[in-house]
Structure formats: structure tokens, C-alpha cells
Amino acid sequence: MLKAQKSLKATVITMIATLMILFSASGANAYVYNGGKWGSANITVYMYPMSSKSASAWTAARDNWSQATDVNLYAGSPGSNITLNETYNANVTWDGIAYTSRSGGVFLSPANAYLNTRYTNGYTNIKTRGVAAHEIGHTIGLADVNYQTLMAGNTPLRGGIYYPTNDEITGINRLY
């Protein structure tokens, strides 16, 4: 009887300790920083003249990030912090791409992001917006990840996520 009580007590203690560890551990973040950020949360964005589908996607994605985070992405002119554009390139596999450069962890202007209409012309408007939001995520400081979220490294892996997720919003707000 005493042996059974000790065994039960040990089992209960182990279960309690396991639960304490599980509930006290902080969850993993669904964002990774790319090593850069702008010197201010007020960031100008210029859109080159482009098709209405791409322009609509970029505008909606820009507004999604601005409304969801502490970052203010607002319309600018040539020479803005971020330049958004479209291109048609059948020789690549990407549907969107962003180019940034940094010095000491601060982005240098301009960051350039493109939608590749070779692919996005066949996408729904919401899927194109998702690609645009992903690329804007790069231009404000987020890197690709390998799990289902807006910043997943390829469009199919995003699994229908077209807007910044709560974790990505938290990541940007912590960065700025």
C-alpha cells in the first residue's frame, strides 16, 4: 500500500511539473526579422504606374499593414522609402520579390518590391494581395519562415493566408 501511494504521489508530482513547464513556457513566434528596419515608423511608399490589379493589390496590402500595426505606410513620390512595382518575368519561379539594403540594421532607401505578373495575372485578387502583403512584410523587417503564415517563403505554403497574422503584427510592433 505504501509503495502504491509513493508511486501515485510521484506520478502526480510529475504531471504537475509537466503542466507548469508547458504553461509557463512562452510560445514560439511566427515571425523572424530580416535584420533591418526603417529609422521611423512613418514610411513613405511610392507605386510606379502599373496595371489596376497590381495597384489594387499593393494599395490594399499597404493599408492592411498600416491599419494592423504601429507602422504608418503612406503614399509618397519617387524617392520614397519603399517603391512598389510589377514586372513580367517568365524566367523565374517567384511571384513576388523584395530587395532591401541596410547599414547597421537600418534600411537604406529605396526598398523595391515587385509582383511578377507572369504568375499574379492568373491569381485571384485576394491571392495577389497576399503576395503583395508578403513582400511589404520584407520591406518593413520580416524574413521568410517555413510554416503556414503570411511570411511563408512561398505562396502555396501560406495556405490561403492573405493578411498579416497576429504574430506578424506583434513582430512589427515590437520592431518599431
| Amino acid letter for position 70 | D
Task: Give the tens place of pLDDT for each residue, 78-120.
Answer: 999 999 999 999 999 999 999 999 999 999 999 999 999 999 9
Asked whether residue 102 is domain-assigned, the answer is yes
pLDDT band at 28 (very low <50, low <70, confident <90, very high): low
Residue 21: inside a domain: no
- pLDDT value of position 94: 98
* CA angle, 69 then 85 then 72, to 5°: 20
Q: How far apart are CA 18 and CA 20, in angstroms?
A: 5
**pLDDT confidence band for 11 (50 / 70 / 90):** very low
Give dist(CA 43, CA 41) in Å, integer. 6
Residue 25 or 167, more confident: 167
Give 44-84 pLDDT, tens digit per residue: 999 999 999 999 999 999 999 999 999 999 999 999 999 99
Per-residue pLDDT for 14 more than 50? no
Residue that has been written with the C-alpha cell 513566434 in this structure: 29
Task: Report d(CA 88, CA 5) in Å as an integer.
Answer: 73
| Residue 54 domain-assigned (yes or no) | yes
Residue with cell 504574430: 167
Structural domain boundaries enclosing 48: 42-175
* Beta partners for residue 115, in sequence order: 86, 96
Domain for residue 14, yes or no? no
- The residue that leads in pLDDT, 101 or 12, is 101
CA–CA distances in Å: residue 82 to residues 71, 98, 127? 13, 10, 21
Query: What confidence score (pLDDT) does residue 100 get?
Result: 97
CATH code, domain carrying 114: 3.40.390.10
**And the C-alpha cell for 20?**
507548469
Please check whether residue 34 lies inside any domain of the structure.
Answer: no
Domain count, the chain: 1
81 inside domain = yes
Query: Tens digits of per-residue pLDDT, 143-160?
Result: 999 999 999 999 999 999
At residue 22, the pLDDT reads: 33
Q: Give 40 or 9, the one with higher predicted confidence.
A: 40
User: Would you tell me how many other CB atoms lie within 10 Å of the CB of residue 87?
Assistant: 14
Reported pTM: 0.83
